[in-house]
Structure 1
Amino acid sequence: MYKYLEILSHMESLIEDGEYKEGDKLPSIRDFTERYGCNKSTIIRALEELERQHRVYSIPKSGYYIVKRKNTVNSNKGLLLDFASSAADPQVFPYLDFQHCINQAIDIYKNELFIYGTSKGLTSLINIMQKHLANYQVFANKDNIFITSGVQQALAILTTLTFPNRKETILIEQPSYHLFIDYLETHNIPVLGIKRTSKGIDLNELERLFKTENIKFFYTMPRFHNPLGTSYSQREKMAIVKLAQKYDVFIVEDDYLADLEEDSKADPLYAYGDFSHVIYLKSYSKIIFPGLRIGVAVIPNAILENFGKYKRLIDVDSSMLSQAALEIYIKSGMFERHKQKIKASYSSRSKCLTSVLEKQYEVYSDVFKYEPIKNSCIHTYITFDEKINREKLIHRLKKKSIRVATEEGNYLSTFPSERILKLNATNVREDYIEKGILDIIQELKNMEI
């Protein structure tokens, strides 16, 4: 790693940990050169990147100062607390690192960028990805790894192609990923739902559906479910895989938040089977940024040929520039550095959100319901009285510059939905989380009167 990146990483940590507080003047460039044992240009480059990130600002002949950071600004009310968005926080986006990788990718792969690649993906990225996936206990052959244009492309292909079990119905957790639900209903795909709650899934009901219905595959988010935020236990994971193999049902495992896992013993479903019935999908939209449009699919041998054929028909290849940049980003160690940084940031916010909700629930259990989630990450939810008008609640909170979202879109139109308020911590600063939650509870109280 370049020296300035090491220094930049350390400076960022000092700012995040509060050693350098908002408004503080930073040590002089001379002091920094002595501290880090480097030349002035290296320090200036690190400070310029902090300035580009809007973490510091410079005053001529005075020095560098820590920016008094704000959340997104609402044009009408000022501070906007966004509990609705699950997009990556722009404050922790690795602008300089990834720009460097894109420039290097253009230099290294300039010839390949002007020709079509392969439908499987850039060979060198697949080689890197094989080693990368092993970190998540996904041990796959290179032949079984496909680079896709996000997880959505993989889901579209899997929904379309014929599986060896000759079944047609998709089984999906309720609630679940809203865009996949939209896709299934828009294309009139046969689909059934199975209820998932904070306590997990009814395994007896899952077995009944596997046994009596024409289930082609079961789409699931075992880890940090969206929108509930819950994860399956090891016992549940093993039971699900066992049932899938028993009744010849495939599992499509969407492990979109694998990079934020803090429990080293929490393996994916893929690790509990014989690799014949679990299709593993991984995204980079939450850990890096959605515009990258790179996903990874590990496809079992039974559908390998057909998956490749369908992918060639949909697009010749995924973005070569994005693939090449991601390969360099992972291989250089920059990805691991960024992952640890964003993981620490999100973990701190998630724990703060959980702590605030637990504390307030002890006082206001008559106003809202909340069930603590073990090993929560990024998002959680609360429920409230059905008599409360949700549209009115959202409008009133919006006037207070607080954005929230309900379960709308996360349920099949034919499945009974539970009224929930989704709460996401990725785009709210830790020191504003408690204020936002207290304002939400106050509005719920006001609307009950």
Structure 2
Amino acid sequence: MAFKYEEVAKYIEMRIEKDRRGRRPLPSVRELAERFQCTRDTVLRAYRELMLYNRVYAVQHKGYFAVVDSSTASLARQAIDMATAAPDYRMIPYREFQSCLNQAVKRYERSLFTYEATQGLPGLRQIVREWLAEEQVYCGDEQLFITAGTQQALQLLSLLPFSAEKDLFVVEQPTYAGILGVLRMQKFCAVGVNRTMQGLEMDKLEEIFSSRRVRYFYTCPRFQHPLGTSLNRQERKTLVRLAKRYDVFIIEDDYLGDLAGKRFESSLFYEDMEDRIIYLRSFSKTLLPGLRLGAAVLPRKLAQEFANAKHWADLGASVLSQGALEIYFRCGMHQEHRIKIRRFYAEKCRLLRRLVQEQFGENAVWYVPENGFFACLEVKDQAKMRRVVEFLRSTSLCIKEPDRAYLPGYQYKQPLLPICFSTLGAAELTTGFQLLKAGICHLQE
């Protein structure tokens, strides 16, 4: 259930969208208090939140006005970002976390000037273990590490010593650009396997596992980055079976796990009975991007090597950030936040499905998930998709460059255009889809 000030803030946002020029004052505090049957303090909090994100400003004795970029005449001329996977600013719990930071300074004042445990603060690890167990991700204390985001975990995994017989990295294609950056920096030998709207090409994956010296296979089973698709339970069971048969470790990047409620398939880790899954969880995409904290659950046979690598990499993640996150969990704020963001992004997905039907009908093949950050559009072939991308570059729509999600020289690129909608409001999404439709129409000319 949304707080009253959030309802007021959404109404103000709606008024801002109606008056894009921002010439008229926004509703007064008294007017809004009467409309929503709330106190003036509640309305003032709503305005403060919007001022914090530079959406409104106050003029003494005149009221509140919308912040409008005078260099842009309309929303259609403003940049619409469908490329960046980040939380919507309206869902960032800035003030709540600020309070947790203040408490963490008092609670851990001595530790701020010393090095803490490499694995992470004991209190935070304990509560994260309990939280993960509720999601059927069970692990011992020696297996859990607090990292500087999942990106650090990927970097550390690439440094672990392996025998010469196991030197190949397999990644789904397309995939998260962060893992491709790690492979490029470490000069790993890597191959790809297609991930389509229909799922993962399991036959091809087994062929690679059985004939090559595979060390790791990297995958996003839920809300895949950048397609938005999720593997079903049969596919997850098959993956775990292949990992056991061919002695491969699977890196499960569950970066949007907070959006997976009971209606979604459980994690890949849940299917693992043979200690083959390396489970990664991020707090950046759904909480605070700048927090730079994540959790990694390692198989027991890799835990000590991972601990050694992490010790020499950073000696330990930020005590202040860890302490604040621990308090955020213990106060129940995180659970409330998860309920809110699941509802919030699910509503965006419903809007996307409506826009797809209105703008495209049966003339295009789309995948829009029930929740997540990404959707994808299928174009007829690579040559035509390049024409669509080139056309969209000339508009105000920023889209993810498809080639950046593939290994260099990968030959089997799919004509799928990833669309990230996580940061956009209803008006921006509507305009963005109009531009996408114009791109498809341009293709057909």
TM-score range (shorter-chain normalised) is: 0.7 to 0.9
Q: Select 2:432's aligned residue among 409, 417, 436.
A: 436
Give how far 1:331 is off: 1.3
Q: Which residue of 1 aligns with 2:352?
A: 353
Cα deviation, 1:212-251, whole Å, max 9, x if unaligned, reads 2111121110000011110000111111112211222111
Count how many residue pairs are aligned between Structure 1 and Structure 2.
433
What is the CA–CA distance in structure 2 between the aligned matches of 1:196 and 1:397, rounded to whole Å? 25
1:414 aligns with 2:409: yes
**Which consecutive residues of structure 2, in runs of 5 or more, have no partner in the other structure?**
17-25
What is the CA–CA distance in structure 2 between the aligned matches of 1:72 and 1:132, rounded to whole Å? 47
1:10/1:55 CA distance change after superposition, 3 Å? farther
Q: Which residue of 2 aligns with 1:52?
A: 52
Give how far 1:74 is off: 6.0
1:425 aligns with 2:421: yes
Whether the 8 Å CA contact 2:355–2:433 is kept in 1: the answer is yes
What is the CA–CA distance in structure 1 between the aligned matches of 2:71 and 2:329, rounded to whole Å? 34
The aligned amino acid for 1:130 is R
Give how far 1:13 is off: 3.6
Whether the 8 Å CA contact 1:250–1:279 is kept in 2: the answer is yes
The aligned amino acid for 1:304 is A
The aligned amino acid for 1:336 is Q
Give how far 1:24 is off: 3.9
What is the CA–CA distance in structure 1 between the aligned matches of 2:274 and 2:59, rounded to whole Å? 59
Partner-residue secondary structure (3-state), 1:103: helix
What is the CA–CA distance in structure 2 between the aligned matches of 1:119 and 1:165, rounded to whole Å? 28
1:383 aligns with 2:378: yes
Partner-residue secondary structure (3-state), 2:366: coil
Partner-residue secondary structure (3-state), 1:176: coil
- Of 54-63 and 187-196, deviating more is 54-63
Q: Which residue of 1 aligns with 2:4?
A: 10
Cα deviation, 1:390-425, whole Å, max 9, x if unaligned, reads 3x7556535542211231211111322223322111
Whether the 8 Å CA contact 2:366–2:378 is kept in 1: the answer is no
Partner-residue secondary structure (3-state), 2:217: strand
What is the CA–CA distance in structure 2 between the aligned matches of 1:425 and 1:196, rounded to whole Å? 20
| Aligned positions of 1:25-424 closer than 5 A | 25-27=28-30, 48-49=48-49, 51-53=51-53, 78-163=77-162, 167-274=166-273, 276-362=275-361, 365=363, 369-384=364-379, 385-388=381-384, 390=386, 393-394=388-389, 396-416=391-411, 417-424=413-420
What is the CA–CA distance in structure 2 between the aligned matches of 1:438 and 1:278, rounded to whole Å? 42
Whether the 8 Å CA contact 1:71–1:80 is kept in 2: the answer is no
TM-score by length of 2: 0.86
What is the CA–CA distance in structure 2 between the aligned matches of 1:103 and 1:438, rounded to whole Å? 45
- Of 291-300 and 369-378, deviating more is 369-378
Give how far 1:98 is off: 1.3
Give how far 1:20 is off: 8.2
Give how far 1:103 is off: 1.3
What is the CA–CA distance in structure 2 between the aligned matches of 1:322 and 1:75, rounded to whole Å? 41
- Of 287-296 and 78-87, deviating more is 78-87
Cα deviation, 1:87-144, whole Å, max 9, x if unaligned, reads 2222322121111111111111010010011211111110111112123221112221
Whether the 8 Å CA contact 2:125–2:145 is kept in 1: the answer is yes
Whether the 8 Å CA contact 1:118–1:317 is kept in 2: the answer is yes
How large is the Cα RMSD of the aligned pairs?
3.2
Give how far 1:56 is off: 6.5
Whether the 8 Å CA contact 1:244–1:251 is kept in 2: the answer is yes
What is the CA–CA distance in structure 2 between the aligned matches of 1:44 and 1:17, rounded to whole Å? 13
Whether the 8 Å CA contact 1:350–1:379 is kept in 2: the answer is no
The aligned amino acid for 2:415 is R
What is the CA–CA distance in structure 1 between the aligned matches of 2:129 and 2:236, rounded to whole Å? 23
Partner-residue secondary structure (3-state), 2:329: helix
Whether the 8 Å CA contact 2:243–2:250 is kept in 1: the answer is yes
Work out the percentage of aligned pairs sharing the same amino acid: 30
Whether the 8 Å CA contact 1:164–1:303 is kept in 2: the answer is no
Partner-residue secondary structure (3-state), 1:82: strand
Whether the 8 Å CA contact 1:279–1:297 is kept in 2: the answer is yes
What is the CA–CA distance in structure 2 between the aligned matches of 1:165 and 1:243, rounded to whole Å? 21
Cα deviation, 1:339-369, whole Å, max 9, x if unaligned, reads 2223322221222123322443335x2xxx4
Whether the 8 Å CA contact 1:228–1:379 is kept in 2: the answer is yes
Cα deviation, 1:244-290, whole Å, max 9, x if unaligned, reads 11222111100000011234452101011125111100011110122
Partner-residue secondary structure (3-state), 2:215: strand
Partner-residue secondary structure (3-state), 2:339: helix
- Of 337-346 and 251-260, deviating more is 337-346
Cα deviation, 1:44-76, whole Å, max 9, x if unaligned, reads 66764454345666666787x6x6587998699
- Of 51-60 and 183-192, deviating more is 51-60
Give how far 1:325 is off: 1.1
The aligned amino acid for 2:52 is R
Whether the 8 Å CA contact 2:57–2:67 is kept in 1: the answer is no
Whether the 8 Å CA contact 2:228–2:369 is kept in 1: the answer is no
- Of 96-105 and 73-82, deviating more is 73-82
What is the CA–CA distance in structure 2 between the aligned matches of 1:70 and 1:199, rounded to whole Å? 43
